[in-house]
Amino acid sequence: MPSFDVRGMSCGHCVKAVTAAVQAIDPAAKVQIDLASGRVEVDSGAPAPAIERAIADAGYEATTVS
């Protein structure tokens, strides 16, 4: 399951925006977000670079961790 460090998330709206961005490329994706650490874990068949790009397109800075 790829993980990402995401900067710029600070509230529930951010969680919804990042989740929607990931699910736009894979509607079946399961997204777990920890606001305190900025960590996003995604269970998806989509490749990590595509997920990272989708998060970035939503306005957040994402870096693949694993």
Edge-first strand order for the sheet with 61-64 is 30-34, 39-43, 3-7, 61-64
Q: Topology of domain 3-64, per CATH?
A: Alpha-Beta Plaits (3.30.70)
Structure confidence by residue, pLDDT tens digits, 9-31 = 999 999 999 999 999 999 999 99
pTM: 0.93
Structure confidence by residue, pLDDT tens digits, 34-55 = 999 999 999 999 999 999 999 9
Q: Domain residue spans in the chain?
A: 3-64
Cβ count near 62 (within 10 Å): 24
